[in-house]
Each structure stands twice: as C-alpha cells, then as structure tokens.
Amino acid sequence: MGVHDTLSSLPLLDQSAAARDPARSMQARGSHLLVEYRGCDPVRLSDAALLERALRDAAEAIGATVVSAAFHGFAPHGVTGILLLAESHLSVHSWPEHGYAAVDAYTCGVGDLDRAVPLLADALGARQTDVLRVARGELDRECALRVEPHGSFCEIAAVQPSTSSGLITPVVSRASR
C-alpha cells in the first residue's frame, strides 16, 4: 500500500461533529514543534548521513514509525532532509556556516515529542535550543501556541491579524518557569 493509498483511506474529520462532541473539544489532534538549534557543530550539520541517523533516533525515541526518508546535501555545505512518519513527519534544514539547524517535528497522537529535542541537540552539538510548540487541531480554540525558549516560558497571549499582509502576529507574554 502506497502513501497515497494510506492517506486516501483515512476518514475525514467532520469539524461540525467535533465541535458538538464535548469529548472531542479542547483536545489537540497533533503536536507540532519548530525547533531552532544554534551554536551547532558545522561538520555535523554538513553530514547528511549523520542528520538522517539523528532524526531516525529521534523518531524511535518518540515511538514513531518511519515510512520513508529523503536527504540532500548541498554544495558547498548544508543539508535538508525529511522522514515521512506514519504519524506525520520530522524534517531538518542546516546552515553549517551559521552553526544553525531548523527542525520541524509533527506527530498526531503518538509519543512525547519533547524526548526528541535534547537528543537532537546532542547529535548536532547545539549550544542553544529554542522551541515553539503548536497544538494542532484544537477546533474549539482560537489560538493554541506555546513558546518555550531555554530556561523560561512564554505564552502566546493573543493574536493580531495584519491588515496589510493577512498574516497573524502573536503577542507574547513572558513568565519564568
């Protein structure tokens, strides 16, 4: 069975039914982490095989199932790669010249994505890690964003739509953990 067959066999979410069913309301359908790794080892960030192994280890740590992988190294440096998971995806984009990697981790209903964050930091040799957590599919909420920088906790307190760009800008309030 191919990915297309798997995806087309999934039932579509009836949003109106979810909104009417109290057992389904205020419950995330997925967890999405956007992770910034800074101060990373440039040699590690240039190694596509190392980055694939690191993402595979992260997938295993969270209990996810890898369906396929695609990784590409750039000249003179940098890698982009993705693991397609039965539960969604893990991806990495690296800029060795800046000691920086961006990781996107999204799963729907499996494991604890937080377990992947320090594992990947160690694999990349990162000195700083910043995380943006997005609870996906909370159909009864207007905003479900949480920012967790190193050593502190930030809540997205509100959103302001931009009239010129149509983008939404978060209004952040900071509190200590």
Q: Does 98 qualify as catalytic in the annotation?
A: no
Active-site residue identified among 88, 150, 152, 165: 88
Active-site residue identified among 108, 164, 165, 176: 108
Q: Does 108 qualify as catalytic in the annotation?
A: yes
One-character DSSP codes across the chain:
--HHHHHHTSPPP-HHHHHH-TTTTT--SEEEEEEEEES--HHHHT-HHHHHHHHHHHHHHHT--EEEEEEEEPSSS-EEEEEEETTEEEEEEEEGGGTEEEEEEEESS-S-GGGHHHHHHHHHT-SEEEEEEEEE--TT-S--EEEE-TTEEEEEEEEEE-TTT--EEEEEEEEE-
Active-site residue identified among 77, 89, 91, 93: 93
Q: Does 89 qualify as catalytic in the annotation?
A: no
Q: Which residues belong to the active site?
A: 88, 93, 108
